[in-house]
Chains A and B, each alone.
Chain A
Amino acid sequence: MAEYSVFSLLRNAFSATPDWKPAWRKPDPKPEYDVVIVGGGGHGLSTAYYLAKEHGITNVAVVERGWLGQGNIGRNTTMIRSNYLLPQNQHFYEHSMKLWENLSHDLNYNVMFSQRGCLNLANSTSQLDDFARRGNAMRHVGIDAELMTPQQIKAFLPALDLNIGGRFPVYGGMIQRRAGTARHDAVAWGYARGADRRGVDLLENCEVTGFLRDGDRIAGVTTTRGEIRAKKVAVAVAGHTGQLMKMAGIDRLPIESHVLQAFVSEGLKPFMDTVVTFGAGHLYVTQSDKGGMVFGGDIDGYNTYAQRGNLPIVEDVMSELAAMFPGLSRVRLLRSWGGIMDMSMDGSPIITAGPLPGMYLNAGWCYGGFKATPASGWCFAWTIARDEPHPYNAAFTLDRFHRGLVIDEKGQGSTPRLH
């Protein structure tokens, strides 16, 4: 498949585009692979890409029950940041940020990574202190962070109501200027194309129905397109981790599945050029390159696998948006959607070998999986290839919950509903 370049664009711009080929092949499953990755979303595809690119393991299949990028990679608010407090998360997400910064070049595919900044508003003095602490912790390890005064915020984001409805005055904020957004579908397509070009088989419409065993060891998967044996089986299926693990005989995990809704308004002229979060409630909003306001808030708050939410959260999110930006109160909503999240019990992910021999697990992304896509795949590929974690994901084990080593970024204890 051809490289995309200015010359290929020009050549095809003046022809009937006979050179454009599908971005990836549609192969039939082989009977056996070195690695089978269950889940053709962002994390599964990036894992396949880095397995091939970084570790030279190309006899790999990605098994996806629908089409590539059908799941949460295509249903999120596209925000990217690495503004974390705890060292385990800092190193991991900053690695992700560095991969994002070179991703379009690396993939030869424009993922439209836009470093428009992410501003967290502080709506109390104690929250501002907390941001100062977090920002200092970030700067201490070389991640950019700046505190902003209300005056600076007013100049930076004129549309914002600094009183937020009169109830939540803005005392300041913390901005990470390298944070931003990316085109989420392009991320999936770019990784898919990159993996395919290195020989990875992307098997769509291929639903996993069970696991093959060789003694105690997981030795492959049964699918709707036949049995596929594999030396290693890696699972990266976001909200359905629990269901897949039940097929493997594991009936309890430190994970609950919840729905998170998100919204897009009709397209507007340029209104704001950053990502901004509302600290007193919970709302995050940005403007897409097409002009729509893209925003979301809390999860609905109870276990669900229904890919739609209920109205109370819609009302909650809308009221917070209208309070922050009164100018948006009469903007019409274009669409909303709900994605199923793996809410882990400490709010941090799981990237690990196990829990069964021959199996590798990538799960528990809560609602922060998109920004992690590059580092998640990079670390998961390392773990699969070398049978040991990279230092970046060494803390993200499954047994940390039982060993008292939880990574509780928000300090909220063991609840899957708040993170």
Chain B
Amino acid sequence: MLITCPYCGPRDVIEFTYQGDANRARPDLHSTDQAEWNAYTYDRVNTLADHAEYWQHSGGCRAHLKLVRSTLTHAISSVEFARPHAGHKPSSRRKPGAST
């Protein structure tokens, strides 16, 4: 199985680490809704065919990626960076204009 990293190009799957199902959204970190957190932690869609999932190019550029891969054929139909999908908001503690 080859995964085409947007930075590094096509690389063998052994360079990558699977990070699981991308079909679930982490609840707001301040949420105390137990059912919501339980569902996020345990429940999976377990898709047959095209499956959205996270991988990290841990043996290469270390970028986090979001793939759409067929669970029947392993064919990968899209690869993109995970960041826009991760739902992280900038910390409110950070001062406006401070450098990262």
Contact = CB atoms under 8 A, between A and B. Distances in A.
B18 A402 contact: no
Nearest to B67: A302
B44 A256 contact: yes
B45 A251 contact: yes
A345 B46 CA distance: 12
A20 interface: no
Interface string A346-370: 0000000000000000000000000
Contacts of B44: 242, 252-256, 345, 416
Given A252-B39, A312-B14, A306 B46 contact: no
Interface stretch (B25-33, B47-55, B81-89, B91-99): B47-55
B74 A310 contact: yes
A89 B72 CA distance: 32
Given A310-B1, A417-B18, A303 B39 contact: no
A303 B35 contact: no
Contacts of B39: 252, 402
B61 interface: no
Contacts of A255: 44, 46
Which of B21, B69, B71 neighbours the largest number of chain A CB atoms within 10 Å of its CB? Answer: B71
Interface in B1-28: 1, 12-14, 18, 20-21
B81 to A, nearest CB: 19
Given A312-B13, A417-B18, A306 B42 contact: no
Contacts of A252: 39, 43-46
A306 B72 contact: yes
A256 B74 contact: no
Nearest to B40: A414
A124 interface: no
Given A256-B21, A302-B53, A310 B72 contact: no
Contacts of B13: 310, 312
Contacts of B72: 304-306
Given A256-B21, A310-B13, A303 B74 contact: no
Chain B contact residues: helix, strand, loop or mixed: mixed
A255 B42 CA distance: 8
Nearest to B18: A302
B100 interface: no
B48 A402 contact: no
Contacts of A305: 48, 71-72
B41 interface: yes
How many interface residues does chain A have, given as a range?
20 to 34
A399 to B, nearest CB: 10
A218 B97 CA distance: 60
Contacts of B12: 312
Contacts of A301: 18
Contact of B41 (A242, A312, A414): A414
B77 interface: no
A402 to B, nearest CB: 4
A304 B69 CA distance: 9
A393 interface: no
A302 B69 CA distance: 10
Contact of A243 (B20, B48, B51): B48
A83 interface: no
Nearest to A400: B42
A156 interface: no
Contacts of B43: 252-254, 401
A257 interface: yes
Contacts of B18: 301-302, 417
A312 to B, nearest CB: 5
Contacts of B53: 302-303
B54 to A, nearest CB: 10
Contact of A303 (B14, B41, B42, B46): B46
Contacts of A312: 12-14
Interface of A: 242-243, 251-257, 301-306, 310, 312, 345, 401-402, 414, 416-417
12 contacts: A242-B44, A243-B48, A254-B44, A255-B44, A257-B46, A302-B53, A310-B74, A312-B12, A345-B41, A345-B44, A402-B42, A414-B41
Given A251-B45, A345-B41, A401-B43, 13 more contacts: A242-B44, A242-B46, A243-B48, A253-B46, A302-B18, A303-B71, A304-B72, A305-B72, A306-B72, A402-B35, A402-B39, A414-B41, A417-B20
